Amino acid sequence: MFQDILFICSAILVIAGTLGVVFSKNLMRACTLLLGTLFGVAGLYAVLGADFLAASQLVIYAGGVIILMLFAVMLTGGSADKANKFGIEKIMGMGSVKTYVIAGLTVLVFSLTIMKLLASFLKGYQKLDELPAFTSTVDKIGTMLVTDHVLAFEISSILLLGALVGAAVIARPRRG
């Protein structure tokens, strides 16, 4: 029953958030809807039993969307008239039935995902001789990253470093 509710809520959140991102003309609203979509994907990972991927989705990608929103606000310059465009008055006036429904669904999926991830800790620990036949996904992924896929892991870290340096070069102010 819990799995079914989490799946349905996550699927609705992913579909609604994705359609909202595609059809939104406002950058901040699209980033917020993308955040809801990523929470829904984390819920789908939790339904599949991929607890490491669900936690990674919440920490890395959802955190990345927050950083994207900050950069969007910081890097979009404007005159003094437009300085209050993303101010608190604009945020307070955004509440409508649609935004409250999407926010409520996001909170529901987020809390159900966290409950699913923490369920193993709340049940208590089993004795060593009574361990289940499967190992956790964190153990499998960690073993694969340092044995079979270490080259791909290192190449992706160099690629991400290059993207970070490129973003810093593009964003820096020009001289003269």
Q: What is the pTM of this model?
A: 0.54
Domain ranges of the chain: 2-124, 127-176
Residue whose structure tokens are 């190449």: 155
User: What is d(CA 89, CA 108) in angstroms, rounded to the nearest whole number?
Assistant: 27
What tens digit of pLDDT does each residue of 76-129 get? 653 444 444 544 445 445 567 777 777 788 888 878 777 777 776 666 655 555
Q: What DSSP line would sit under 111-150, residue for residue?
A: HHHHHHHHHHHHH-PPPGGG--SS--HHHHHHHHHHTTTH
